């Protein structure tokens, strides 16, 4: 265990964590969608861009296959947790880039390409509504995103194991990051409590009181949590 | 007809809601207030609409600054008749 790792209380005997491979694509799409819903039935990609979930799944599969690093729509950024050889959870991480290499711009390019001009133009008013919730990420910080555990395995230490492994990988880099950040829906109290136990603290929040947001997003407020690594 | 650079500047000012915005070839997303993932999606869609072009994914990924975007547009827009 390195100095930054989170003490484990994992009670899953046959848990293993490994790097994602192309064969994990469909589970990663499931992870992105499950994390985006954040325990609700609202999937922002669908509500914002007027997409059916099946169409979104097809587009996300194409995007993660491109494997463009530095954001969460990328196979090679994921770690997969397996229990008894079955995929149980996954989480993505990357070191945040600057300017055109920031996750916002890379992901924005991917989504603009996948969704197409007409759909984006038709979504303009909805995008304007959610803009106040956009949370900047700190360049150079390790970003954890798309945290997901399949329902049979929740509450069994899998998120902790996944984050620990991301921190271990980051710590082995030539220039290890000084901090780790995660963005969470502000009403996801269970997740916030868990991340606090892991050593994260809320360092920024964004919110909006616009009533229409309730139909678009899992929450009308978001929190950025930060764990100091060095 | 205004130049590609003029039309792009007008579009950038509209997308980022800043009528006084000034950009240079080396300007990046980090230099412009409000240039985030959502506004970038809107920017790409609006540029494609304004100039009647469609970017390939690898082209979008090659854009590091405004100069790259200007050159990419210029390479796709037919020259104006003399």
Query: Which residues, listed in sequence order, are joined to residue A17 by a DSSP beta bridge?
Result: A81
Closest residue to B40, CB basis, from A108, A115, A116: A108
Interchain CB distance below 8 Å, B44 and A121? no
- E strand spans, chain A: 15-19, 78-83, 86-95, 142-149, 179-185, 201-207, 221-228
Averaged pLDDT in 10-residue chunks for chain B of 82 residues: 88 96 95 94 97 96 96 89 70
For A135, name the nearest residue in chain B, comparing CA atoms only.
Answer: B36
Average pLDDT of span A98-122: 95
CA–CA min distance B3, chain A (Å): 23
pLDDT for A99: 83
Is 0.90 surpassed by the pTM of this model?
Answer: yes
pLDDT: is A217 or A99 the higher one? A217
pLDDT score for A20: 98
The answer to whether the CB atoms of B37 and A120 lie below 8 A apart is no
Per-residue pLDDT tens digits for A150-189: 999 998 999 999 999 999 999 999 999 999 999 999 999 9
- Please tell me the predicted confidence (pLDDT) of residue B79: 74
Buried b / exposed e across A107-137, counting CB within 10 Å, b at 16+?
Answer: bbbbbbbbbbbebbeebeebbebbbebeeeb
pLDDT score at A3: 55
């Amino acid at each position: 265990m390195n100095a930054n790792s989170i003490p484990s209380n994992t009670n899953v005997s046959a848990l293993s964590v490994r790097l994602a491979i192309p064969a994990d694509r469909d589970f990663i799409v499931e992870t992105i969608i499950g994390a985006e819903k954040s325990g609700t039935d609202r999937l922002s990609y669908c509500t914002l861009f007027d997409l059916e979930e099946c169409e979104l799944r097809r587009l996300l599969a194409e995007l993660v296959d491109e494997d463009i690093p530095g954001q969460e729509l990328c196979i090679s950024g994921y770690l997969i947790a397996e229990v008894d050889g079955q995929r149980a959870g996954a989480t993505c991480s990357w070191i945040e880039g600057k300017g055109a290499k920031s996750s916002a711009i890379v992901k924005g390019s991917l989504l603009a390409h996948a969704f197409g001009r007409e759909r984006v133009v038709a979504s303009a008013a909805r995008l304007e509504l959610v803009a106040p919730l956009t949370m900047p990420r700190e360049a150079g910080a390790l970003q954890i995103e798309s945290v997901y555990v399949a329902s049979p395995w929740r509450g069994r230490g899998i998120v902790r194991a996944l984050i620990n492994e991301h921190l271990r990988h980051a710590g082995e880099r030539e220039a290890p990051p000084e901090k780790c950040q995660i963005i969470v829906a502000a009403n996801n109290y269970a997740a916030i409590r868990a991340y606090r136990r892991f050593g994260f603290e809320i360092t920024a929040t964004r919110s909006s009181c616009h009533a229409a947001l309730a139909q678009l997003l899992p929450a009308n407020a978001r929190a950025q949590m930060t764990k100091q690594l060095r | 007809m205004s130049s590609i650079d003029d039309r792009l500047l007008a579009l950038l000012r509209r997308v980022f809601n800043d009528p006084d915005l000034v950009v240079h070839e080396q300007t990046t997303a980090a230099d412009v207030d409000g240039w985030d993932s959502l506004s970038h999606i809107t920017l790409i869609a609006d540029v494609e609409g304004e100039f009647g072009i469609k970017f390939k994914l690898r082209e979008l990924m090659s854009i590091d600054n405004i100069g790259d975007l200007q050159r990419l547009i210029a390479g796709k827009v037919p020259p104006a008749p003399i």
